[in-house]
Amino acid sequence: DTTVKQNPRYKLARVGKPVNLICSQTMNHDTMYWYQKKPNQAPKLLLFYYDKILNREADTFEKFQSSRPNNSFCSLYIGSAGLEYSAMYLCASSRDRDISSYEQYFGPGTRLTVL
Protein backbone atom coordinates (compact mmCIF):
# COMPACT_ATOMS: atom_id res chain seq x y z
CA ASP A 1 0.00 0.00 0.00
CA THR A 2 1.58 3.23 -1.18
CA THR A 3 -1.23 5.44 0.06
CA VAL A 4 -0.70 8.72 1.82
CA LYS A 5 -3.89 10.00 3.44
CA GLN A 6 -4.82 13.54 4.35
CA ASN A 7 -7.60 14.96 6.48
CA PRO A 8 -9.64 16.93 5.96
CA ARG A 9 -9.84 17.17 2.17
CA TYR A 10 -11.35 20.64 2.40
CA LYS A 11 -10.95 23.16 5.19
CA LEU A 12 -12.55 26.54 5.67
CA ALA A 13 -10.91 28.84 8.20
CA ARG A 14 -11.38 32.38 9.46
CA VAL A 15 -8.63 34.94 9.39
CA GLY A 16 -6.73 34.88 12.66
CA LYS A 17 -7.88 31.39 13.64
CA PRO A 18 -5.62 28.33 13.93
CA VAL A 19 -5.61 25.51 11.40
CA ASN A 20 -4.44 21.95 11.88
CA LEU A 21 -4.04 19.55 8.95
CA ILE A 22 -3.35 15.84 9.30
CA CYS A 23 -1.39 13.40 7.19
CA SER A 24 -0.83 9.67 7.65
CA GLN A 25 1.00 6.84 5.90
CA THR A 26 1.38 3.17 6.70
CA MET A 27 4.51 2.49 4.66
CA ASN A 28 6.81 2.97 7.64
CA HIS A 29 8.51 5.80 5.79
CA ASP A 30 11.16 7.72 7.67
CA THR A 31 10.48 11.07 6.04
CA MET A 32 7.27 13.07 5.73
CA TYR A 33 6.93 16.37 3.86
CA TRP A 34 4.50 19.24 3.61
CA TYR A 35 4.16 21.31 0.45
CA GLN A 36 2.03 24.34 -0.35
CA LYS A 37 0.53 24.60 -3.83
CA LYS A 38 -1.15 27.72 -5.15
CA PRO A 39 -2.87 28.00 -8.53
CA ASN A 40 -0.46 28.37 -11.45
CA GLN A 41 2.53 27.91 -9.17
CA ALA A 42 4.86 25.03 -8.49
CA PRO A 43 4.46 23.11 -5.23
CA LYS A 44 6.68 24.66 -2.58
CA LEU A 45 8.30 22.69 0.20
CA LEU A 46 7.39 24.06 3.64
CA LEU A 47 9.01 21.56 5.97
CA PHE A 48 9.82 17.92 6.45
CA TYR A 49 10.38 15.44 9.25
CA TYR A 50 13.19 12.97 9.05
CA ASP A 51 12.30 10.52 11.79
CA LYS A 52 11.73 12.87 14.76
CA ILE A 53 13.77 15.77 13.42
CA LEU A 54 11.86 18.71 11.99
CA ASN A 55 13.40 20.78 9.21
CA ARG A 56 11.64 23.97 8.15
CA GLU A 57 12.45 25.99 5.05
CA ALA A 58 14.01 29.33 5.86
CA ASP A 59 11.45 31.49 4.08
CA THR A 60 8.46 29.88 5.80
CA PHE A 61 10.09 29.16 9.12
CA GLU A 62 7.83 31.30 11.26
CA LYS A 63 4.58 30.63 9.45
CA PHE A 64 4.17 26.90 9.90
CA GLN A 65 4.64 24.40 12.67
CA SER A 66 4.46 20.66 12.61
CA SER A 67 4.41 17.65 14.88
CA ARG A 68 5.00 13.97 14.36
CA PRO A 69 3.71 11.99 17.34
CA ASN A 70 4.65 8.69 15.71
CA ASN A 71 6.07 7.35 12.48
CA SER A 72 2.69 7.24 10.73
CA PHE A 73 1.27 10.68 11.46
CA CYS A 74 2.37 14.21 10.73
CA SER A 75 0.44 17.44 11.21
CA LEU A 76 0.78 20.92 9.76
CA TYR A 77 -0.20 23.74 12.08
CA ILE A 78 -0.94 27.37 11.29
CA GLY A 79 -1.24 29.45 14.44
CA SER A 80 -3.11 32.38 12.94
CA ALA A 81 -4.40 31.97 9.41
CA GLY A 82 -4.14 34.83 6.95
CA LEU A 83 -5.71 35.19 3.52
CA GLU A 84 -2.36 34.32 1.96
CA TYR A 85 -2.54 30.83 3.45
CA SER A 86 -5.35 29.83 1.10
CA ALA A 87 -3.83 27.04 -0.97
CA MET A 88 -3.68 23.31 -1.50
CA TYR A 89 -1.50 21.60 1.11
CA LEU A 90 0.17 18.40 -0.05
CA CYS A 91 1.70 15.82 2.23
CA ALA A 92 4.28 13.36 0.94
CA SER A 93 6.43 10.62 2.36
CA SER A 94 9.53 8.74 1.33
CA ARG A 95 11.47 5.84 2.69
CA ASP A 96 14.46 8.05 3.45
CA ARG A 97 15.40 11.71 3.25
CA ASP A 98 17.90 10.84 0.54
CA ILE A 99 15.49 11.55 -2.26
CA SER A 100 18.19 10.87 -4.79
CA SER A 101 17.51 7.24 -4.01
CA TYR A 102 13.87 7.09 -2.96
CA GLU A 103 10.65 8.23 -4.53
CA GLN A 104 8.21 10.59 -2.80
CA TYR A 105 4.57 9.53 -2.56
CA PHE A 106 1.94 12.26 -2.35
CA GLY A 107 -1.41 12.42 -0.64
CA PRO A 108 -4.58 13.86 -2.23
CA GLY A 109 -4.11 17.24 -0.60
CA THR A 110 -6.15 19.47 1.67
CA ARG A 111 -7.64 22.55 0.07
CA LEU A 112 -7.58 25.34 2.63
CA THR A 113 -9.68 28.45 2.11
CA VAL A 114 -9.20 31.33 4.52
CA LEU A 115 -11.98 33.93 4.72
Measured in degrees and rounded to the nearest 5, phi and psi for residue 86 equal -60, 120
Sorted by sequence, the CB contacts under 8 Å of residue 75 that are 6+ apart come out as 20, 21, 22, 23, 66, 67, 68
Q: Which of 5, 11, 95, 111 binds other proteins (CB under 8 A)?
A: 111
Size of the site for other proteins (CB under 8 A): 24
Q: Which of 27, 30, 43, 63 binds other proteins (CB under 8 A)?
A: 43
Please report whether residue 34 would count as binding other proteins according to CB under 8 A: no
Please report whether residue 41 would count as binding other proteins according to CB under 8 A: yes
Q: Which of 12, 51, 53, 55 binds other proteins (CB under 8 A)?
A: 55
- For Cα atoms 8, 12, 18, give the angle at the middle one, nearest 5 degrees: 85
CA-only gyration radius of the chain, Å: 13
- Residues of this chain that interact with other proteins (CB under 8 A) are 33, 37, 40-45, 48, 55, 88, 90, 97-101, 103-106, 108-109, 111
